[in-house]
Chain A
């Protein structure tokens, strides 16, 4: 019998193997650090200190984490329906437009908590809208969603640059960005939450979106494992033929799953646009959509896993910034390398270790 069909306990499949894959990714990252002549352990120390050592560091870490939770959830929801959404980046970008429009329209007149639901809705609707065409093309015309979502990332980027340069730019200014939102259009920082733990947030942009992200984790969990639609999505994602047998409508399921996925990606803009920058800027997504792929793969498309994976990447992003300050030979781009290695080992090579693990497991099970 081949090792592929040997059942393994859940703690091995969902705990040990992902952990080993992660360790491999870190091992190779360490090799890179060592290769450029720095100590990997020293680097790790700076990384941890820089991301968790102080109140504002933790604040920055959680700020990044928030963005990655949104995009991680986005990739995960599509993935459960058997769809690989590489377009979270573009959906988040366009989602920013919805979030910004809500803020620009309301910030003069109402306090932030009145604007917030409109900003959430705006971000989600614009993000979903950007996912709709690829979803429709996949559902009705069979166009490969991986390719169309990549294309839509670029089309979205062009659209947003056009809008920022030609429509939203503040007259007389050089930077292609909207005006700064008043407080009524911003999402307040979570100083009080940090204070509960005796930490000072400082300048870190850790804000209310974090709480929205946690709520979304719960809602996504509900959606996937507790609703009838989630059940249909999972059936379609695992076994398209069983979905036909069960009467799961293909086109509708694909389109709705992608709308939800796009909506979640769009909500990432709440954190970056309404929370941190208080204005819509060019390229504010800065790769968070792609980090979502890594987060979702590592978190095994489960909200709890996604929170943990997003936290890990939050640590990497914030700690990486500090690390490059402490060790000028290591730039922040080291994070991107680690991210790529995590996707490689946790995603593309996820089954590489399985045969070996099965053999060892069988030894133990026998003995």
Chain B
């Protein structure tokens, strides 16, 4: 570690505070980052990391607090100001123009003169120097969309360096990389640090923190809870700091009585749009009367797995059997007819049509059912009656089936989805992030419903990034990492054991 002898830190945040409406994203954040170091910031999804970085990069203004760069207080009104203060950012979703060459992408916004030709040669020379100095090899004349993801990321880093960045923020940089590409990135980051650059690495992957940072700060629910020198901490301590000593939501739950297999996944592989394997040769069964939880850090393939089972995403190979029936060729509607119910991860985009009235959403996906009208017509009376029953049973507030769905709170919106899916009396229930953005009272209610579903002899597959939720609900826990199931545990398994498996360290 080559710390600069000068005392002024690269970045100092003093009392940064930011609210989005009712959401307190950053609470009184204080943070000091030494010059010439790699500083990790970890925390779970929604801990406030990205908001904090956006404030440093000028995308948002903090409501309160001060930012000091190299000891000087500055105001960062927009990204232009961030750039001129030597701050560069590599976004999680690359900000690249895909049909431009690497060179064009790098010079965009700092072209020099009004004509490209004259300055292009100068830019090329400068970039070649940067590439040599930092090991950032990439063909400057290649079209960006033809490059592998790892190379595109190097373009983003080049962009920042070309603009004279001394401080580099990387937001979840390895999320889209293969392990080999990630190793390459780490080498680049080490070189950058050794040449005196300061690097801020945002991640939720503990392994990365341990591998390359000099210091690490932990965020939890909008607060900065601890900062440690990486050499003096352990994965276990960080995992605990990230999760915190939460009140364990304990749900009364009897023994599972597993029955016949209702969901069988065999050698399933799912690729994303770029052809990267998101789910990699996964096999497992879920039986009637049990809840199988899939634990894992977000982005390790759980979402894609769930969508493949639901019939929303096409797998590239493998089999899915629902109640013994192969369903590969069936769409979401046909699978529902076989007894599948699906509480999706994202209720706003999938589970609900927010502009619909409540009762209209209470039949989404089941609208072709004869109970809601024979033939081509909808029986509104039956639908509204049915919606009112669910509203009463699930205590959905306000109890008004004619209210626009967007006007319900998050917890009540989720209850609309849960009621619709569970009350269909399915054979198999698949659930993604059932309590994301839901208040405590509703969490307990939803958890109890899921267990009742199991006790009624249904098979339940639960995906959640909340380890507590997985542990308190599941009878068996499968841990997913990098698209693979890396192990199976019972609900008795300790949080640390699971945490290490989720980080891909232990099996």
Decide yes or no whether A287 CB sits under 8 A from chain B.
no
What chain B residues lie within 8 Å of A231 (beta carbons)?
Answer: 360, 363, 367, 378
Interface 9-residue window, one of B125-133, B135-143, B295-303, B327-335: B327-335
Establish whether residues B367 and A228, one from each chain, have CB atoms under 8 Å apart when the complex forms. yes
Query: Using an 8 Å CB-CB cutoff, how does the interface string of A75-98 with B read, 1 for contact, 0 for none?
Result: 000000000000000000000000
Establish whether residues B367 and A232, one from each chain, have CB atoms under 8 Å apart when the complex forms. yes
CA A241 – CA B365 in complex, angstroms? Answer: 12
Decide yes or no whether B336 CB sits under 8 A from chain A.
yes
Closest to A246 in B: B365
Q: In the assembled complex, how far is the CB of residue A13 from the closest CB belonging to chain B, in whole angstroms?
A: 10
CA A235 – CA B376 in complex, angstroms? Answer: 16
Residues in B287-325 with C-beta less than 8 Å from chain A? 310-312
Decide yes or no whether A365 CB sits under 8 A from chain B.
no
Decide yes or no whether B72 CB sits under 8 A from chain A.
no
What chain B residues lie within 8 Å of A247 (beta carbons)?
Answer: 311, 331-336, 365
Establish whether residues B353 and A242, one from each chain, have CB atoms under 8 Å apart when the complex forms. yes
Decide yes or no whether B241 CB sits under 8 A from chain A.
no
CA A249 – CA B364 in complex, angstroms? Answer: 14
* Interface range on chain B (Cβ under 8 Å from partner): 35 or more
Q: In the assembled complex, how far is the CB of residue B60 from the closest CB belonging to chain A, in whole angstroms?
A: 13
Interface residue from B344, B355, B407 paired with A245 (Cβ < 8 Å): B344
Residues in A16-40 with C-beta less than 8 Å from chain B? none
Q: In the assembled complex, how far is the CB of residue A6 from the closest CB belonging to chain B, in whole angstroms?
A: 11
Q: In the assembled complex, how far is the CB of residue A305 from the closest CB belonging to chain B, in whole angstroms?
A: 17
Decide yes or no whether A227 CB sits under 8 A from chain B.
yes
Task: Indicate the member of A1, A226, A244 with the most B CB atoms within 10 Å.
Answer: A244
Closest to A1 in B: B21
Decide yes or no whether A7 CB sits under 8 A from chain B.
yes
What chain B residues lie within 8 Å of A228 (beta carbons)?
Answer: 367-368, 372-373, 376-378
Q: A228-B368, A228-B378, A239-B349 are in contact. Are A246 and B333 (CB under 8 A)?
A: yes
Decide yes or no whether B36 CB sits under 8 A from chain A.
no
Task: Indicate the member of A222, A228, A242 with the most B CB atoms within 10 Å.
Answer: A242
Q: In the assembled complex, how far is the CB of residue B23 from the closest CB belonging to chain A, in whole angstroms?
A: 11
**Besides A227-B378, A245-B332, 9 other A-B contacts (C-beta < 8 A):** A229-B376, A239-B354, A242-B364, A244-B312, A245-B344, A246-B333, A246-B365, A246-B367, A247-B332
Q: What are the 10 closest A-B residue pairs judged by CB atoms, nearest first?
A: A247-B333, A247-B332, A245-B350, A246-B365, A241-B349, A239-B353, A242-B353, A246-B364, A1-B21, A227-B376
Cβ contacts A to B, 26 pairs, < 8 Å: A222-B377, A226-B377, A226-B378, A226-B380, A227-B376, A228-B367, A228-B368, A228-B373, A228-B377, A234-B356, A238-B353, A238-B355, A238-B356, A239-B353, A239-B355, A244-B332, A244-B350, A245-B310, A245-B332, A245-B351, A245-B364, A246-B332, A247-B332, A247-B334, A247-B365, A248-B333
